Amino acid sequence: MPLTSIRVLDLSRLLPGPYCSMILGDFGAEVIKIEEPSIGDYAREYMPKVDEDSAFYHSLNRNKKSVCLNLKSADDKEYFLKLVEEADVVIESFRPGVMKRLGLDYETLKEINPGIIYCAITGYGQDGPYANVPGHDVNYISYAGLLNMMGERNGKPQIPAAQIADIGGGALPAAVGILLALFGREKTGKGQMVDISMMDGVISWLPTLLPGYLATNNHPNRGELVLSGKLACYEVYQTKDKKWMSVGALELKFWSGFCKAIGKENFISQLDAPMEVQDQMKIEIQNIIFQKSLDEWMEIFSMVDSCVTPVLSFDEMIENPQVKAREMIKNVNHDELGTVKQVGIPIKLSETPGRIRGQAPKLGEHTKEILEESDAVK
């Protein structure tokens, strides 16, 4: 596999760091979770649980091993430093300064292993006035200006259901940064620090909004964005059976097909009409869509190239033929639980695909094994 022989020491907990190391583990890296004895990753305690640990924890921590170390203990710190000598990557998500106080910061670790890739995932990065300010996903997307753009016109900002900052602003840039640093090490022989700020990552998610503001100084308004509430051609409509369908007919050819299918050919020329016209079209389109069930509309649009799709619930999504074809819900064998379902691997490589090779570890399951391998028997 692409990352076979790469050893990752993951000190992070909850979502951003474990998601990042999950990606690395799915493609062959040996990921060792360094967990606090007795407590471990807080994600273990989330509900619902599938054994003594949560479904959330099992999903994020497949293909990993667990070693319990108390990094405030001199002996356990020595064990960790011994592991660093043999490692390629360290991932942590503490506030800036915590690892330095423990004597385990990047400057210290690179003296032990000059090739180490040290990735710190934090809310605001390692420097700047907010470096030590606490926060969660909602705070990072707030500072980034994204939350202000989410929601309906004249309404309050709407918190997204998925964690944009944690995953899109933190975990994914961290995985890319680690892989870039590993690639760089192949050329230079040296490791480096990967400083990931979740707020930075979210700001980078705004290419359809922010450049226009920077160029014109004209601030977009919530609910008046081309891809978020302004256009009748890019909207969600309710059907007769109280289900929902989404329309993404942005291009004229798709909009034309949509308008013909609902019997409103006079709307075709109004694709880019002013907002008051868009609002009126939305009302008329909603009245039409409400006359048929979702299945009836999907039958009609199955013959039309118009970017119309059903809004699926989770139970409908996992049975969707495209989801099945792409194996995005996988049946995984577990020693105690039997067959369990997990989210699949979204990165498809033709020659060296990712695999779910092992189940999430119990707390400290591999402590003895890993420390013995490092000649550091506890």
What's the pLDDT at 375? 66
* Sheet (strand 7-10) strand order: 64-68, 30-35, 7-10, 89-92, 117-122, 192-197
Sign (positive/negative) of CA torsion 51, 55, 59, 65? negative
Give percent of the chain above pLDDT 90.
93
pTM, to two decimals = 0.94
Q: Which fold has domain 7-204+345-373?
A: Rossmann fold (3.40.50)
SS3 329: strand
User: Is 136 in the active site?
Assistant: yes
From 88, 166, 195, 200, the catalytic residue:
166
| pLDDT tens readout for residues 102-149 | 999 999 999 999 999 999 999 999 999 999 999 999 999 999 999 999
Distance CA 25, CA 37 (A): 23
Task: Report domain extents, the chain.
Answer: 7-204+345-373, 234-318
From 136, 241, 305, 366, the catalytic residue:
136
| pLDDT tens readout for residues 252-264 | 999 999 999 999 9
Residue 268 has pLDDT above 90, yes or no: yes
CATH class of 234-318: alpha beta
SS3 34: strand
Helices 172-188 and 16-26, packing angle to 10 deg: 50
User: Is 166 in the active site?
Assistant: yes
- In the predicted model, what is the mean pLDDT of the chain? 95
